[in-house]
Structure 1
Amino acid sequence: MNNPAPAARRPAGVPSRATGRGSGWPVPATLIALSAIPLIAGAFRLVQLAGGPATIPADDRFTFPAPLVVHIAGAALYALVGAFQFVPGSGGTTRTGTAGRGASWPSPGCSSPDRRCG
């Protein structure tokens, strides 16, 4: 009587990946499209700071442009990379499946050798 283990059941209303929601690219594409205007304005500002034509009125508050350049580059990276967290299959595992594993220390009263104290 060696019956195989029953297959895991999916909760009602949760679609499978095969029959799911399509490609999953509308959300990242929308986020990138929404960030296009600030990215273009930041690019114009960087061109102006590099000595190009003044496409945006100069602001006297920024006499040293390094913080402004770091801000624009960081915001562009954040906007573009952040949109790709919503691409299905790019993470490999679900967030809830890996949340907290190995990321925290055991409690001070834990004396278990494998550190699995509740």
Structure 2
Amino acid sequence: MPTNSTTKKDYWIIGFLLFLSFVPSIAGLVRIFQLTTGSGYTVENQRFFNDPIPVILHIIAVLLYSILGSFQFAPGFRSRHLRWHRISGRFLVVFGLLSAGSGLWLTWEYPRVPTDGNWLFGIRMVVGVWMFACILLGFSFALGKQFRTHSHWMIRGYAIGLGAGTQVFTHLPWFIIVGGEPSGIPRDLMMAAGWLINFVFAEWIIWKEKLFRN
């Protein structure tokens, strides 16, 4: 029987991950609405209207990956619903790989927008490849029944997948102090900071878990 503290911990973890997913999910749904209705057309988002299918697939995959994944990392919930964890985990792998793969395709194929600096293309490619590799490694370790290592790599992949949520906060100081949409190197650095924060946080969680088990 799970303790109250474990249940509360589950609520905090799930709630925090859903909170990080909220703003990108809303933005993604708005983008899908615009693309399907033809509204909100601008020069900046012209590339989405010219070829909408890849970005719609990317948004749906990211939305499902982030929301479904939030329930995978709550230890009490996971232990009480192992069958659900295993079945939904297979879908999570598909959504995660589709998120990373479509993100790489969008970065490679879509024309660069004027607000992007010279670094952002390379950063996005590195992040996309890293996320794809983390999920593949996590899945392979699960097949090999190395569940502890599987968990570590899935944490890494999911953390990168939630980068857009953290980027809301890395951009916030600019919006408050400077105002307007950042561009060039400042935008590149703020985007990179979101992924870096999540990467460091994931490694800290993994290190803490290893320390506790040892």
TM-score normalised over the length of structure 2: 0.33
Describe how 1:61-76 pairs up with structure 2 within 5 A: 61-62=47-48, 63-76=50-63
> Match for residue 104 of structure 2?
none
Distance 1:42 1:56 in 2: 16
- Which protein has the bigger helix share? 2
In structure 2, relative to structure 1, the CA distance for the partners of 1:17 and 1:38 (3 Å cut) is same
Q: Which runs of 4+ in 1 moved over 6 A?
A: none
SS at match of 2:69: helix
1:30 equivalenced with 2:16 (yes/no): yes
Highest Rg: 1 or 2? 1
How far the C-alpha of 1:49 sits from its partner, in A, is: 0.3
In structure 2, relative to structure 1, the CA distance for the partners of 1:36 and 1:57 (3 Å cut) is farther
Gaps of 5+ in 2: 87-141, 146-214
Deviations 1:52-105 (A, max 9, x none): 53187752323110001100000000000000102322225xx9xxx534xxxx
Instruction: Give the paired residue count.
Output: 83
Distance 1:55 1:29 in 2: 34
1:84 equivalenced with 2:75 (yes/no): no
How far the C-alpha of 1:28 sits from its partner, in A, is: 0.7
Distance 1:49 1:28 in 2: 30
TM-score normalised over the length of structure 1: 0.56
Tell me: higher relative CO, structure 1 or 2? Use CA pairs within 8 A at least 6 residues apart.
1
SS at match of 1:86: coil
